[in-house]
A = this chain, B = another copy of it.
Amino acid sequence: AFAPTRKPGNDKRTVKVRAESINPEIRKSEEKVVDSVDLTQLSKPITPYCRCWRSKTFPLCDGSHVKHNKATGDNVGPLLLKKQ
């Protein structure tokens, strides 16, 4: 009788995980949201920049990461630019 060969490396189950978008709303008309900061223009000693994609003042952080973390169990936070 004929039995189909199977390579050991192909003999494992695969689980498909659907990858998710992380930015639901910000500037969705842009193909890629990239921002530039001219460091000579920063006025405050510390300026927080958003990495949670929930800020109403994006690219700046407005504290919205707190609500996002609480709602999802996530642990994201801003990038702090320090003049000195």
Report A's interface with B, CB cutoff 8 A. 19-23, 27-28, 30-40, 42, 49-53, 59, 65, 68-69, 71-84
Contacts and interface: CB of A to CB of B under 8 A. Distances in A.
A69 B33 CA distance: 11
Given A31-B75, A37-B80, 12 more contacts: A33-B77, A34-B79, A35-B80, A36-B82, A38-B82, A39-B39, A39-B81, A49-B79, A50-B51, A51-B51, A79-B79, A81-B81
A57 to B, nearest CB: 14
User: How often does this chain occur in the complex, in copies?
Assistant: 2
Nearest to A39: B39
Q: Which 4 residue pairs across A and B have the least CB separation, nearest first?
A: A22-B22, A34-B77, A21-B74, A32-B77
A81 B23 CA distance: 21
